[in-house]
Amino acid sequence: MIKAGIIGGSGYTGGELIRILLNHPATEIDFVFSTTRAGKKVTTAHPDLLGVTDLEFSGNVNIEVNVVFLCLGHGNSTAFLKEHNFSVNTKIIDLSNDFRLHADDDFDGKKFVYGLPELFKNEIENAQYIANPGCFATAIQLALLPLANANLLKNEVHINAVTGSTGAGVSPSATSHFSWRNNNVSWYKPFTHQHLGEINESLHSLQKNSGNLFFMPNRGNFTRGILATSYTKFEESLEDAGKLYQEFYKNAVFTQISDEPINLKQVVNTNQCHIHLHKHDDILLVTSAIDNLLKGASGQAVQNMNLIFGLEEDLGLNLKAGVF
């Protein structure tokens, strides 16, 4: 059994990791570290686990675990690793954006690999340290990678994406307050969202001069999921586009091309990304949908863990969509 540690256990991505790993046939949770709840039962933060686990949050870490997941806000992973020296054999999977960009991927001699399996599967299989991609970044990259791979991102790309409130973490804020968020929609960080950096680095790894991205992130009045629409000029036919996407994702267990228009509920609570293609005049519209906490965070982190440890990529990740 793989011994796993979770840091930031009372947060949203930490909670999702606990849920996945409790049901994963090849892992056992060694500890769940919490700065605020050490000594308390995990169910005090995640009451849905009542009757499932008696685990308690810990104020200590076991530096000898086989894998540790850092589920901390930006900057806190770096601070945490400075204070905690894990064994040289411990694999580290970081869910923040501390190590995602090339400029940040070497921390104290630890080389972090960008953990998007659809693009870097071989590198992940041989990695010890993983920078897990952002949630918007996952949905948008999966929508655009096949075009970049064919050198077909020649023009501007316009992207509109809407996320649920869990994307902002467990701490309440003005824009996650029920009274504000419910029955409401708003945009934020127009054209400047921090995930653009990692998206561009991945696209450039396939196509040097890929077109400019214009990204509008939106807050939706639902709790989980991301629906992204990306469109750009595309002179080939819809059938050609379909072939490109099918070919690019032929070995991807968690990315599916749908002939039918897609909606969020078909992927929420799963580790899947669903993609749909539509052509209007010379514009190709690519719609992608993921669960921000699963394929956009903790599910993808476990997918990466499976690859690192030579397990089936989807082990412990065949989850059931809510659908209704």
Ligand X SMILES: NC(=O)c1ccc[n+]([C@@H]2O[C@H](COP(=O)([O-])OP(=O)(O)OC[C@H]3O[C@@H](n4cnc5c(N)ncnc54)[C@H](OP(=O)(O)O)[C@@H]3O)[C@@H](O)[C@H]2O)c1
Nearest residue (CB) to ligand X, 34 versus 210: 34
CB of 236 to ligand X, least distance (A): 33
CB of 152 to ligand X, least distance (A): 28
Residue 241 dihedral angles phi and psi, to the nearest 5°: -60, -45
Tokens of 320: 């059931």
CA neighbor of 259 nearest in space, from 240, 274, 280, 272: 274
Nearest residue (CB) to ligand X, 136 versus 249: 136
CA distance 12 to 169: 6
Residue type, 287: T
Residue type, 268: V
Nearest residue (CB) to ligand X, 27 versus 292: 292
Is 71 one of the catalytic residues? no
Catalytic residue among 135, 140, 206, 273: 135
Residue with tokens 């540690």: 5
CB 84 within 8 A of CB 63: yes
User: What stretches of 27-134 show up as alpha helix (H) in DSSP?
Assistant: 76-83, 117-125
Nearest residue (CB) to ligand X, 265 versus 279: 265
Residue type, 171: S
Question: Parallel, antiparallel, or unpaired: how do β-strands 255-258 and 273-280 relate?
Answer: parallel
Q: Which residue is nearest to ligand X (CB)?
A: 11
CB of 34 to ligand X, least distance (A): 3
CB of 71 to ligand X, least distance (A): 5
CA distance 86 to 277: 44
Binding stretches for ligand X (CB under 6 A): 8-14, 34-37, 71-74, 76, 80, 95-96, 134-135, 166-167, 169-171, 292-293, 296-297
CA distance 263 to 38: 39
CB of 243 to ligand X, least distance (A): 31
CB of 241 to ligand X, least distance (A): 28
CA distance 20 to 33: 17
CA neighbor of 315 nearest in space, from 14, 1, 20, 18: 20
Work out the number of other CB atoms within 10 angstroms of the CB of residue 10. 21
Nearest residue (CB) to ligand X, 65 versus 95: 95
CA neighbor of 300 nearest in space, from 47, 43, 121: 121
List residues with catalytic annotation: 135
